[in-house]
């Protein structure tokens, strides 16, 4: 397999448009996810402009849904910041994984590229990097396609949100759960212990925190518990599966 050129990555309009085209089929599903957020935000009391600005400036679906859970007359700012960081901490690793590819870009292009970083365009961009592709258009164009789809979905949700009094009737209350489940099983032919164990521990810890710990702590507790198990598991799995000499 070819490795990236020593001269590093490049970015141009053709590559960006190609990335948008490649991401377009997946972006259609993001519209439904954004619609669910728009409906939920309106019903939580956010104004139309607040909802649209959150999607435009934050562009982090899971974190935005988590923020809605904390939304109210008095917002627990510390819990909101901690929850957002815990949910999006994976971006630190995602950015580090792409750094060898992006480091030769001009600073303005490099930092602008990661502004639209998300799970889907990161995965496809990482595949391009492994194949030796120099153009980072998949990262930028794919991210822009997802961002636009997220905004369109949010706008649709805002427009129709006030008229949807029972989101569960249309299945909008389970879109986030289905999205997270697809992240869990996506790309795997079978569920392994290394996948099931961290998620199971995270779920149990979150339920326990929801029952016995202060309000809004379950997101942080679940994320930390699952992360610690996931960090421990690879080394143990490697030792357990290492062939005997």
Q: Which residues of 228-243 are buried (b: 16+ CB within 10 A; e: fewer)?
A: ebbeebeeeeeeeeee
**Residue 7 included in any domain:** no
What's the domain range around 121?
13-187
| One domain, residues 80 and 175 | yes
**Residue 244 included in any domain:** no
Range with the lowest mean pLDDT among 11-15, 58-62, 80-84, 198-202?
80-84
- pLDDT tens across 5-28, in order? 445 678 889 999 999 999 998 888
| One domain, residues 105 and 163 | yes
| One domain, residues 183 and 198 | no
| One domain, residues 199 and 164 | no
Give the total number of structural domains in the chain. 2
**Residue 229 included in any domain:** yes
| One domain, residues 86 and 180 | yes
Structure tokens at 77: 């700012």
| One domain, residues 115 and 221 | no
pLDDT for 32 equals: 84
> Would you mind telling me the total number of residues written for the chain in this entry?
245
Q: Which residue has the tokens 């690879």?
A: 234
Among 204, 146, 195, residue whose Cα is nearest residue 19: 146
Cα 80 from chain centre = 17
| One domain, residues 98 and 25 | yes
CA distance 233 to 235: 6
Cα 122 from chain centre = 10
Per the model's pLDDT, the better-predicted residue between 12 and 220 turns out to be: 12
Q: Which residues of 106-127 are buried (b: 16+ CB within 10 A; e: fewer)?
A: eeeebeebbebbbbbbbebbbe
* Biggest CA-to-CA distance, the chain: 67
| One domain, residues 162 and 206 | no
CA distance 200 to 145: 33
pLDDT for 237 equals: 45
**Residue 218 included in any domain:** yes
pLDDT exceeds cutoff 60 at 146: yes
**CB contact set of 121 (below 8 Å; sequence gap of 6+):** 19, 23, 138, 139, 142, 143, 145, 146
**Residue 243 included in any domain:** no
Going from the C-alpha of 191 to that of each of 104, 182, 242, the distances in angstroms are: 38, 12, 20
Structure tokens at 7: 């001269």
| One domain, residues 218 and 137 | no
Ordered alpha helix ranges (H), the chain? 13-44, 48-57, 61-70, 77-88, 90-102, 107-114, 119-130, 137-161, 175-185, 193-212, 218-241
Once rounded to an integer, what is the mean pLDDT over residues 205-229?
Answer: 81
Among 206, 225, 208, residue whose Cα is nearest residue 66: 206
**Percentage of the chain modeled with pLDDT above 70:** 77
- pLDDT tens across 163-214, in order? 665 656 666 556 556 655 665 565 555 556 667 888 889 889 989 988 898 7
- pLDDT tens across 121-138, in order? 998 898 888 888 889 999
- The answer to whether the CB of 61 falls within 8 A of the CB of 182 is no
| One domain, residues 155 and 233 | no
């Amino acid at each position: 397999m070819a490795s990236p050129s020593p001269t590093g990555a490049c970015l141009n309009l053709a590559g960006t448009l190609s990335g948008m085209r490649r991401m377009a089929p997946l972006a259609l599903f993001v519209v439904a996810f954004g619609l669910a957020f728009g409906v939920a935000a309106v019903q939580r009391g956010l104004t139309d402009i607040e909802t649209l600005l959150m999607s435009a400036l934050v562009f982090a679906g899971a974190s935005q849904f988590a923020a809605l859970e904390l939304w109210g007359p008095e917002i627990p700012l510390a819990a909101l910041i901690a929850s957002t960081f815990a949910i999006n901490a994976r971006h630190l690793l995602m950015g580090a994984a792409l750094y060898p590819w992006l480091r030769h870009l001009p600073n303005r292009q490099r930092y602008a590229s990661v502004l639209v970083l998300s799970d889907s365009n990161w995965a496809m961009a990482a595949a391009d990097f492994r194949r030796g592709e120099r153009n980072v258009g998949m990262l930028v164009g794919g991210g822009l396609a997802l961002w636009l789809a997220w905004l369109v979905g949010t706008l649709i949700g805002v427009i129709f949100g006030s008229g949807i009094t029972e989101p569960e009737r249309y299945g909008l209350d389970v879109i986030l759960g289905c999205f997270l489940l697809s992240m869990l099983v996506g790309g795997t032919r079978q569920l392994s212990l290394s996948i099931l164990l961290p998620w199971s521990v995270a779920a149990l810890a979150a339920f326990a925190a929801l029952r016995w710990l202060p309000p809004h702590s379950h997101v942080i507790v679940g994320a930390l518990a699952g992360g610690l198990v996931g960090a421990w598991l690879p080394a143990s799995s490697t030792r357990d599966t290492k062939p005997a000499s």
